[in-house]
Amino acid sequence: MYLVFRCDCGRAMYAKEGTARKKCVCGKNLKVKERRILVKTETAEEASEMVRKFQEEKYGGAVFTTADKI
């Protein structure tokens, strides 16, 4: 079982159930038990997909490009 939650900075992330702490890319070290759980999923792939969905809702769709087009 995987838990999807948000950091205080707004970034969505996931952790395996039973994990005590998770470090966000912003540098915060979060206690998973203290976070509000947004979704529970069975597999890591489903959790990853949910994180993508939450990130797109908050920040808009991801647009990938190559360096020569910038």
Q: What is the pLDDT of residues 4-51, one digit of tens each?
A: 999 999 899 999 999 999 999 999 999 999 999 999 999 999 999 999
Q: Rounded mean pLDDT of 59-64?
A: 67
- Beta strands 39-41; 2-6: pairing state: antiparallel
Give the total number of structural domains in the chain.
Answer: 1
Domain containing 25 — which CATH number? 3.90.820.10
Q: Is the pLDDT of residue 65 over 90?
A: no
Instruction: Give the pLDDT confidence score for residue 36 in this predicted structure.
Output: 93
Note whether 34 and 22 are within 8 A (CB).
no
Instruction: Give the pLDDT confidence score for residue 70 in this predicted structure.
Output: 67
The pTM for the full model equals 0.79
Where in the sequence is the domain holding 62, given as residue range(s)? 2-69
Residue with tokens 């993508």: 52
Q: Rounded CA gap, 10 and 54, in Å?
A: 10
* Amino acid at site 47: A
